[in-house]
Structure 1
């Protein structure tokens, strides 16, 4: 049982920190909305600590310890941790799912760059699709096809975020554009990070990201009717609201360097209305065969983790390796800053 005070804390964190999700969550039934708010609050807290903190490696290692404590039934004495521990127990949340998010945040701490679109999708799988699959678990959905479409939605949302934030990321020394796209355009990565400009080549990259996102948004829609009826409206709302962010980038001529796309409250209300209509249509429309499309290769491990409720698996070798790298790097920095 989630404590009322902890739930109120999580609700406020999402209300002020994630306007898009807060808007979409209002259309979810309370039985899903409350644990979803807890899930997003915990994930948002983890992301913010890694993204905005001065010690990113240490933040990831701290998150590892917090997750281990939660799954050991001894959460840190903090509202998000206590509430998430309750969600983990109530819904039997596979540890592989928050571990996937942990791995994505570890990649951020390493300032990893991605050679191609598949690499960007792999990153998106961890920081976004993992959350989408956890949402399915909160809806008591473990069907592999529905999970695969939830993963499509997560990747689409993250690609939209990347397209919107090209300039903001570059000014912070980050780049999520596929490096082979820059190579094709004859662009030097470091020069772009030093002086990001909305050149025709960069605009084309934003357009390519949004084209891939649009393809995956369309695929994801086939999975919504596989969800419990009371939850469909909120998921459609999330799809349309995030899709609307991409529309704003398009209207700016794919320039996300000199401007950052924003959506208004009126627009969000319009997309929520669109979600209501689409939910009604889904009740009388035959099931789409797209529901059964194979999952993206990059998200298959998430589908497998959530659809097979067998013996809990340990952390993957890849995650253990990246955590060990961060531990060594953090120790080295500590020894350098505190000489004997």
Structure 2
């Protein structure tokens, strides 16, 4: 399905760019691991282009064009694009899922801020839950309950990332904590950006975000039992490794401004061993009722798309409007450079 040289390139990109995902992927069966590495490499490199580049709007527009080419069966001649196109064809990947990621990256390119936790969750749904839903597709899982819990896990992971990177993001001029939390805490978000400090109100916001992530990690666990038996250990590992980042943040007194929480290699190995045990236990336990809980409102359209229960036309309109806005911004930016 995927050219071996292209797969090797994707594997190397993930090995150096995402230690946590690479570690967890080692516990997946090859039939899932290989396309998952290719998928994650495509998504990760697209995210890096927007996150680290000087021309963010142009990077998103380029990604839009790359998706069009991949779905037309004539991908751009790069290892990640060729591998992604192979995935699209082999697994009949619903286009709404990578387009959700595209939308989230466009919000990043615009420098959007999020008024409420629900808006932060909507952002997390696009940049993380969309990938979780695509992972289910790679496992040939289209069950709505399993998809809903995979989306829960994606949001939990992204909230953990946001909690870990508060200081790093602030120094780059970005804020992902809800604006109404800043207002409740009496903290001026622009003043925080100018001089990010791990004050007590900021630490409390980090703790609050981690509490929401923990709630979703627990909801997500029931969905692992609905996955293929040989894929459960890898997903347990991902859940445990990302949740461990949250524990490190708590151990640091919820200071993610002056320090960055990390999990070491030995800790990852221990968590992978725990994942093996939990996977075996999960196989013997009856399914929990929370498996059938409805999806989060912010992720419901991803579940619909992955389960093939019908398209969401309104999302297409919104995405087109968003791309048009970015194109205008890109043209304006080029005009200023040429002036």
| TM-score of Structure 1 vs Structure 2, range by shorter chain | over 0.9
Q: What are the residue-to-residue correspondences of 1:42-191 with 2, within 5 Å?
A: 42-191=42-191
1:218 corresponds in structure 2 to: 218
Contact 2:196–2:257 (8 Å) recurs in 1:
yes
Contact 1:155–1:213 (8 Å) recurs in 2:
yes
Q: How far 1:312 sits from its partner (Å)? A: 9.6
Q: How far 1:241 sits from its partner (Å)? A: 0.2
Deviations 1:188-239 (A, max 9, x none): 1110000011111000001000000000000000000000000000000000
Contact 2:304–2:311 (8 Å) recurs in 1:
no
Deviations 1:82-132 (A, max 9, x none): 000000000000000000000000000000000010000000000000000
Asked if 1:2 corresponds to 2:7, the answer is no
Name the CA shift for 1:143/1:120 in 2 (closer, same or farther; >3 Å): same
Partner secondary structure for residue 128 of structure 1 = helix
2:192 corresponds in structure 1 to: 192
CA distance in 1, matches of 2:277, 2:215: 21
Contact 1:104–1:123 (8 Å) recurs in 2:
yes
CA distance in 2, matches of 1:25, 1:314: 35
Asked if 1:259 corresponds to 2:259, the answer is yes
Q: Could you tell me which runs of 5 or more consecutive residues in structure 2 were left unpaired when the two chains were aligned.
A: none
Contact 1:96–1:313 (8 Å) recurs in 2:
no
CA distance in 1, matches of 2:305, 2:268: 33
CA distance in 2, matches of 1:315, 1:152: 20
1:12 corresponds in structure 2 to: 12
CA distance in 1, matches of 2:114, 2:24: 30
Contact 1:95–1:312 (8 Å) recurs in 2:
no
- Tell me the C-alpha RMSD between the 2 structures: 1.2
Partner secondary structure for residue 255 of structure 2 = coil
CA distance in 1, matches of 2:248, 2:81: 35
CA distance in 1, matches of 2:231, 2:160: 23
Normalising by the residue count of structure 1, what TM-score does the alignment of the two structures yield? 0.98
Partner secondary structure for residue 316 of structure 1 = helix
Contact 2:301–2:312 (8 Å) recurs in 1:
no
Name the CA shift for 1:82/1:311 in 2 (closer, same or farther; >3 Å): same
Q: How far 1:310 sits from its partner (Å)? A: 5.8
Q: How far 1:320 sits from its partner (Å)? A: 1.0
CA distance in 2, matches of 1:322, 1:166: 26
CA distance in 2, matches of 1:301, 1:199: 37
1:332 corresponds in structure 2 to: 332
CA distance in 1, matches of 2:338, 2:214: 50
Partner secondary structure for residue 193 of structure 2 = helix
Q: How far 1:336 sits from its partner (Å)? A: 2.4
Normalising by the residue count of structure 2, what TM-score does the alignment of the two structures yield? 0.98
Name the CA shift for 1:52/1:311 in 2 (closer, same or farther; >3 Å): closer
Q: How far 1:303 sits from its partner (Å)? A: 0.2
Q: How far 1:311 sits from its partner (Å)? A: 7.3
Q: How far 1:283 sits from its partner (Å)? A: 1.3
CA distance in 2, matches of 1:279, 1:66: 37
